[in-house]
Amino acid sequence: MHLKISIITQKTACYLALAALYLCACADQQRQQQIPPGAIPIVYTSYIFVQALVDSVPANLLLDTGADNLYLDSLYYAASGFNYPKTRRRSISGVGNSRQNILIIDDSLNFTFNNHQYRTSHVVVLMLKPAGGDYLDGLLGTSYFMHNVLQVDYDNGYIKTYSSHDSIDLNGYTRIPMRALDYSFTIPLSIKINDTLTIHGDFAVDIGSPGTIINSSVVQQYHLDQAITHKARYYTKYAGVGNDSDGYDFIPDTVRLANHFAMQQPTVSYSIDTAGVLAADDHMGILGGNILSRFDLVFDFLDTALYLRPNSIYKSPFIYDRLGFTFTDRYSTLGGWVVASITYNSQADQHGLQIDDLIVAVNGLPVQQIPYVEQDAYFDRQKRVNLTVQRADTTLNIAFDLISLL
């Protein structure tokens, strides 16, 4: 999972249920959903959330094809009052340069989403909210779909599982073979950097990542630091399991999926991490939601294939970053939005915004009045922002124009 964006009170089970209902109500206002029988409604921001019950406690789980099992956030775990006798501790790596200490539950626990019921063990408990925000209670990985076909419909806001792809009308879809890589899957991708350089290779298909990222091992192999001159460097403290991560955003000429679909000038990042998933050399990087969300998706895990069909936003122009920072919505637990990353030399950086600043209002509007699913659209409408920021015991006003970084 890659989360590059975004404790006063603990959430209770009642709050979790209300939050999930609130998110779904907002999503219903944004799009007219046409959900077929047996489908599972989703909330889509930059991530796909499904509502679930973990041993009868409501949870918002992020659907993540870059993860394997069920993962629970440590704050959600503490607030839910779980008490499993068989646990152990270890450390793991993920996206980012560092490792994180985790708790592993070896006891069996039950969880359900829609009419799907599972009994599972070896569940990992780790810090997820710093990277994903308060609405993120856990991750739902690929293990629970390996014997099924998974349909993802971004337009109408649902996912649905089938026993085989014969049960789906695949008219208009293009089949792309996938390669299994542990618990994740890759497809061939070519990225035309410029007129003289194109890179080809396998990229992990990760709907749990909002962006498309090239691994640092590939950066070294193709000397991308020298080849790409028009770029914007960012640093994030909360990239995922491995916390801090460095990289550059840039705009390639074309990203082509398995010689079928050519995406013109999307935003792509390249990592300069020295450890973790984004420094791996067994695949070239991550194909994320900024491109995948432009398709109807069918993951045929039984036949190791991905079916793609362009959806309603397929031809929409890509939106380039104007903020120069990312944040995670921590209003419920910390009282505001926590600045998670900064783009160097952006307007936000030049005007003094810092990582871990707590944003409590934007243009005089308290952040709790900007619903979670509407935050991206809110900034798309603005030409200038005035942020009310709490830093330690000081309240600051930081104002700047929103100018495209690329």
The fold of the 167-310 domain, in CATH, is Cathepsin D, subunit A; domain 1 (2.40.70)
φ and ψ of 63, to 5 deg: -75, 125
Instruction: Provide the pairing of β-strand 232-236 with 336-343.
Output: antiparallel
Measure the CA–CA gap between 109 and 106, rounded to whole angstroms: 9
Q: How confident is the model at residue 119 (pLDDT cuts 50, 70, 90)?
A: confident
Inform me whether the pLDDT recorded for 98 exceeds 80. no
Residues in contact with 135: Cβ distance below 8 Å, sequence separation at least 6, in sequence order: 19, 23, 49, 60, 329, 372
Tokens, residue 82: 């779980």
Q: What is the pLDDT of residues 124-170, one digit of tens each?
A: 999 999 988 999 999 999 888 888 999 999 999 999 999 998 999 99
Inform me whether the pLDDT recorded for 203 exceeds 60. yes
Query: Which regions of the chain carry the CATH code 2.30.42.10?
Result: 325-401
In terms of pLDDT, which residue wins out, 386 or 119? 386
pLDDT recorded at residue 33 = 55
Residue with tokens 């991530």: 47
Inform me whether the pLDDT recorded for 23 exceeds 50. no
pLDDT recorded at residue 339 = 97
Q: What is the pLDDT of residues 330-356, one digit of tens each?
A: 999 999 999 999 999 999 999 999 999
Query: Which regions of the chain carry the CATH code 2.40.70.10?
Result: 13-162, 167-310
Handedness of CA 228, 230, 233, 239 (dihedral sign): negative
Measure the CA–CA gap between 212 and 210, rounded to whole angstroms: 7
CA atoms within 13 A on the CB side of 27: 24
φ and ψ of 165, to 5 deg: -75, -10
Inform me whether the pLDDT recorded for 93 exceeds 80. no
Mean model confidence pLDDT for the chain: 87
Q: How confident is the model at residue 101 (pLDDT cuts 50, 70, 90)?
A: confident
Is domain 13-162 given the CATH code 2.40.70.10 in the classification? yes
Q: How confident is the model at residue 96 (pLDDT cuts 50, 70, 90)?
A: low
Inform me whether the pLDDT recorded for 117 exceeds 90. no
- Predicted TM-score of the model (pTM): 0.86
| CATH of the domain spanning 325-401, picked from 2.30.42.10, 3.30.70.20, 2.60.40.420, 2.160.20.60 | 2.30.42.10
Residues in contact with 21: Cβ distance below 8 Å, sequence separation at least 6, in sequence order: none
Measure the CA–CA gap between 212 and 190, rounded to whole angstroms: 12
Q: How confident is the model at residue 94 (pLDDT cuts 50, 70, 90)?
A: low
Instruction: Provide the pairing of β-strand 138-140 with 70-73.
Output: antiparallel
Report the 3 state secondary structure along 260-314.
Answer: CEEEECCCEEEECCCCCHHHCCCCCEEECHHHHCCEEEEEECCCCEEEEEECCCC
* Identity of the residue numbered 381: R
Tokens, residue 116: 């799907």
